[in-house]
Copies of this chain bind each other. A is one copy, B any other.
Amino acid sequence: MMAPLTIGFLGTGIMGGPMARNLCRAGHAVRAWNRSPDKTVALAEAGVGLAADPAEAVRGADVGICMLSSGPVCDEILLGPDGALAAMAPGSLLVVMSSIPVETAQRQAAAAAQAGIHYVDAPVSGGERGAIAGTLAIMAGGSPEAFGRAEPVLAAMGRPTHVGPAGCGQLAKLANQAIVASTIVTVAEAITFVESGGADPAKVREALLGGFADSTILKQHALRMIERDFAPGGPAKYQVKDTGTALAHAATLGLTLPVLSLVDQMFSDMVAHGDGDLDHSAVLRELYRRNDLPLP
C-alpha cells in the first residue's frame, strides 16, 4: 500500500469520472476539474474535491492526471496561457491518459522536462466498463523513474505496463487499435466466405474458438456480425480515425503497412457509404457491398 498522494484530475467524462473515483477509493486526495461542471457533482458526493479551473486542480499536487478528449484539448489545458503545467511544482508528475498523437505526447514530455516535471503518457483500453471496474489496460511511456512513480497510481485504475520512453504509450495504443481494425476485417472476410459457401457461421465460429484462429474479435465481434447486431460498441467513424492516425504516424517513421492501409480504406468506404455510426463489426456490410451481395 502506497502513501496517499494529492492528485489533480483534469477531465471527468465517461472515462475520467470513474477513474477519478477509483483513485479516491484507493485513498488518494483527488481534486477534479471538468469543463462542464455538472459532470463533477456526483464525484463530489463520492469524496472527490472540486476545482474551479485546471491550475487550481493541480496546484501543489503530487500528480496531475489528464483525461481530456483530444491532443489539441490536452495541449490547450496543459500548455496554454494559465495552463495546468505552469501551476505544477518542479519534481511533481504529469500523467496524460488521453489518446493523443505520439508527437504530441513527445512534445508535452519535452515541455514538462523543461519545467522539471516528470511526464508519462498512459492511454488506456477497456472502455467505460474497464474504467468503472478499475481493470483498464494502461500502456505507459516515459522514463523508468517517471513510470516508477506513476505505476502505483495507475494501478488503482487498471493494469499498467511500461512499454518504452515518452510517446510509446500512444504508440502501443495505436498498435492495439490497428490490430483490432485488421482483425475485425479478417473475421468479417471469413464470415462472408463461410456464409457464401453455405455453412452455418455460428457453428464455424464455435468450431474455431480455442484454436489458432481464436481472438477476442472472434469471440465478441463475430457474434455481432452473425447476429447482424450493429449497434455501437465502437462506431466505425472512430475506428477509421484510429487507423488513419496509426498510418500517419507510420508514415513519419517511413513505414508502409499494407494490410492496415487496406483496412483503413475499407473503414473509410464504410463511413462514406453512411455506416459510420454503426459498430465497426458492420464492416461486414462493406464486404457484402463490394461483392454485390444483398446487405446484411
Contact = CB atoms under 8 A, between A and B. Distances in A.
Contacts of A102: 197
Interface in A167-194: 167-168, 171-172, 174-176, 178-180, 182-183, 185-187, 189-190, 192-194
B190 A179 contact: yes
Given A218-B179, A259-B263, A262-B262, A253 B163 contact: no
The interface residues of chain A, by DSSP majority, are classed as: helix
Contacts of A39: none
A171 B199 contact: yes
Contacts of A204: 139, 161, 163, 171-172, 175
A241 to B, nearest CB: 16
A46 B170 CA distance: 57
A180 B163 CA distance: 26
A185 B259 contact: yes
Interface of A: 102, 125-126, 137-139, 141, 159, 161-165, 167-168, 171-172, 174-176, 178-180, 182-183, 185-187, 189-190, 192-194, 196-200, 203-204, 206-208, 210-218, 220, 246, 249-250, 253-260, 262-263, 266, 287, 290-291
14 contacts: A125-B211, A125-B213, A139-B204, A168-B199, A172-B194, A175-B190, A176-B212, A179-B187, A189-B260, A196-B250, A214-B216, A215-B216, A215-B218, A258-B262
